[in-house]
Amino acid sequence: MEEPQRARSHTVTTTASSFAENFSTSSSSFAYDREFLRTLPGLLIVAEIVLGLLVWTLIAGTEYFRVPAFGWVMFVAVFYWVLTVFFLIIYITMTYTRIPQVPWTTVGLCFNGSAFILYLSAAVVDASSVSPERDSHNFNSWAASSFFAFLVTICYAGNTYFSFIAWRSRTIQ
């Protein structure tokens, strides 16, 4: 009875060690891509983070809950801000090279394309919800958030274009 238990524990150990081998780094040094932030897609991601932060902080600093449309703008702005920070970390640390099973060009295209479409809708909703008659003491913050939302939309459109070029060149090969 004891032999089958040993064989079973050996199988579990082998599976666990092969799992650790597949997902461990090849060296103990931390990979960092300094050049990524000097590329146009890298600069666009930094602009998306900075401008996106402005969009949601300008709205969050007001009584935005009085206008239900700003709930959509806040959702889009915060959701894509968090994901963009996540993707920036993935690109800077070159994590995408350690997880080759993920089709990163397709993921980037889908992410940037959806961000462009949803941010465009949020920017239009933001702009159409701003009026000086509605709440005059929040008007400047809401108008500024609308302006920055359109700038973020342009940044995501640019990154969608670069993601499409990378995706198309990968699928042609």
In a domain, 13, yes or no: no
Torsion, Cα 94 97 101 106, to 10 degrees, reads: 60
pLDDT of residue 65: 86
In a domain, 159, yes or no: no
In a domain, 140, yes or no: no
CA angle 61, 116, 107 (to 5 degrees): 115
**Model-level pTM?**
0.79
Residue 116, Cβ neighbours under 10 Å: how many? 22
pLDDT of residue 154: 98
Average pLDDT value over all residues in the chain: 84
Which parts of 24-138 fold into alpha helices (H)? 40-60, 69-92, 95-98, 104-129
Q: Which residue ranges of the chain lie beneath pLDDT 50?
A: 2-28, 173
Q: Write out the residue range of the structural domain in which residue 97 sits.
A: 29-101
d(CA 4, CA 22): 27
Residue 137 DSSP symbol: G
In a domain, 160, yes or no: no
Question: Number of structural domains, the chain?
Answer: 1
In a domain, 24, yes or no: no
In a domain, 51, yes or no: yes
pLDDT of residue 138: 85
In a domain, 170, yes or no: no
In a domain, 92, yes or no: yes
pLDDT in tens, 47-67: 999 999 999 999 999 888 888
